[in-house]
Amino acid sequence: MEWFMSWSGILTISLERLAPFANDPVRSYTDPSDIAAMQAALAEVDDEFGKHYPLIIDGERVDCAKKIPSTDPSAPERIVGHVASASLPQAVRAIERAYERFAAWKSVPAAERAGYLLSAAELVRRRRFRFNALMVREVGKTWVEADADTAEAIDFLEFYAREALRYAEAQPVTPVAGEVNELRYIPLGVGLSIPPWNFPFAIMAGMTSAAIAAGNTVILKPSSDAPVIAAWFVDLLHEVGLPNGVVNFVPGSAAEIGNAMVSHPLVRFISFTGSKSVGLHINELAAKPVPGQRWIKRVVAEMGGKDAIVVAADADIDAAVEGVAVSAFGFQGQKCSACSRAIVEASIYDDFVEKLRARVAKITVGDPTNGAFHMGPVINERALKDHLRYVEIGSREGRLLHGGKRVGERGYFLEPTVIVDVPPHAVIAQEEIFGPVLAVIKARDYDHAIEIANDTEFGLTGSVYTRDERKIERARDEFFVGNLYFNRKSTGALVGGHPFGGFNMSGTDSKAGGRDYLLLFLQAKSISRKLTP
């Protein structure tokens, strides 16, 4: 403990003395020692099933009569953990304590705040397999998908620590004769972090750590489908010495506490990742000032997509098929960046469809505690029923090529599903399904393909497979998405390399993992002093 507690002091250093940021490698589980470590971690997590996780308000652990049961989607009768569900008075108390703690935390030097993040990153590395195992159980991630999630959490901690130091440096301003001028970035205040269940570690840790690195205090309200991993992370932050009240763990329902917390006058900003409907509702609530409120609330929202991969006639078809399959069915299609539309030029359409059919047939579905399976369950029964409803609709709109059925009866497993010959304005070509259901659309030519790709209300990720530099240049200008890729999958954005966030109804273009992101949790103060003669 002393080693971790001492990190904040050791790391009171300049940005130049830190090693340049580099992404943490993702394990492929081909090394027998990694396999053994993962199997041992799964057994450890299983031994902790049913454990109780209280609220954490200003460092105090607070019990509640009401609990959120976090279940294993592979076997819903298994309770991963019982998590306290906050009442409205408890949620309000957390906001008030966070507001009080902000007075001191905002003055903590950036180097010290960065030290807590770097300490946390190191401790996550040491417990990597335990976090991976928990995600396999709590949200049904496969081993590789879970490790990628943990690696991204580490990346966010490392990257935002460095960003806090960068924003704390002297900022360039134009010299003015007879004056000394400076621009400082200062924190906003109390923030509400509302992360999703699909990246239960990376996004949760990323939005929380960015806010505190900038000098804000946070109320963390995790998804009810993934609250245990958030509890683990808050415990880890306190273990490395983060002061009480800087991050408060307050799970609960939107109806009971969520809306009231968004509207509370002491909340300065809301960071949200989730559905379009909820994001728009939060934005609407936050826009209405209430008595006692002194600011216009800031909303940082990422709200999903209807992402397309365009396959041009000159593309490497085998590479495109692989990219589409991995993008559509990685983590059961439950990524906002997942490919849900493959738009293929007519001249290669039939060849592409046949090769896609063969590739998808190789995908295996089953309990992800067995590392051999490529796909696990969808998150819950409601999602499974919703996906099956879309399969039924899509089968009428197009032609079911593969899948479409539930696998087994115990968990929430669904076959990887491909529906071809889908019209561009069909329901399954326009609405976000957020599951393993892919629509394949035939385009007359490249112009038509780009037109179809842009013809949704979303604008998050997209990919184009082509060898033609002119087509690449056109897509750079015309394909309207926040994250555009060429000749690679539409998923797997890396912190630092692919700042992430989209246009239109995909959100506020937050660019998480980029140089602009921390600025969303800061405000600029211009200071000028006239020189006396």
Per-residue pLDDT tens over the stretch 105-149: 999 999 999 999 999 999 999 999 999 999 999 999 999 999 999
Residue of 506, 513, 517, 501 whose CA lies nearest to 303: 506
pLDDT at 308 over 60: yes
Q: What is the pLDDT of residues 380-430, one digit of tens each?
A: 999 999 999 999 999 999 999 999 999 999 999 999 999 999 999 999 999
Q: What is the pLDDT of residues 280-295, one digit of tens each?
A: 999 999 999 999 999 9
Whole-number pLDDT of residue 2: 37
pLDDT at 327 over 70: yes
Cβ-in-10-Å burial (0-12, 13-18, 19+) of 280 comes to middle
Whole-number pLDDT of residue 17: 80
Whole-number pLDDT of residue 13: 55
First to last CA, the chain: 55
> Do the first three CATH levels of 2-12+32-303+511-525 and 307-494 match, i.e. the same topology?
no
Percent of the chain with pLDDT over 70: 97
DSSP-derived 3-state class of residue 470: helix
Domain 307-494 class?
Answer: alpha beta
pLDDT tier for residue 14 given thresholds of 50, 70 and 90 = low
pLDDT at 71 over 50: yes
Separation of alpha carbons 52 and 73, rounded Å: 19
Q: Where are the domains of the chain?
A: 2-12+32-303+511-525, 307-494
Kindly list the catalytic residues. Answer: 302, 336
Give the total residue count for the chain.
Answer: 533
Backbone angles phi and psi of 232, in degrees to 5: -60, -45
Residue of 442, 439, 418 whose CA lies nearest to 344: 442
Contacts 24+ apart (CB under 8 A), 91-94: 91/219, 91/250, 91/252, 91/257, 91/260, 91/261, 92/260, 92/264, 93/57, 94/55, 94/57, 94/58, 94/219, 94/248, 94/250
3-state DSSP percent of the chain in helix, strand and coil, to 5: 40, 20, 35
Q: What is the pLDDT of residues 74-100, one digit of tens each?
A: 999 999 999 999 999 999 999 999 999
pLDDT tier for residue 1 given thresholds of 50, 70 and 90 = very low
What average pLDDT does the structure give for the chain?
A: 96
Per-residue pLDDT, averaged over 445-474, amounts to 98
| Burial annotation 124-150 (CB, 10 A radius, 16+ → b, else e) | beeebbbbbbbbbbbbbbbbbbbbbbb
pLDDT tier for residue 6 given thresholds of 50, 70 and 90 = very low
Q: What is the pLDDT of residues 229-267, one digit of tens each?
A: 999 999 999 999 999 999 999 999 999 999 999 999 999
Q: What is the pLDDT of residues 28-58, one digit of tens each?
A: 999 999 999 999 999 999 999 999 999 999 9
Report whether 494 contacts 513 (CB < 8 A): yes
Whole-number pLDDT of residue 126: 98
Residue entry with tokens 């509702």: 281
Whole-number pLDDT of residue 247: 98
How far does CA 121 lie from the centroid of its chain? 17
Separation of alpha carbons 340 and 407, rounded Å: 21
Whole-number pLDDT of residue 233: 98
Taking the model in full, what pTM does it have? 0.97
Fold of 2-12+32-303+511-525: Aldehyde Dehydrogenase; Chain A, domain 1 (3.40.605)
pLDDT at 12 over 60: no
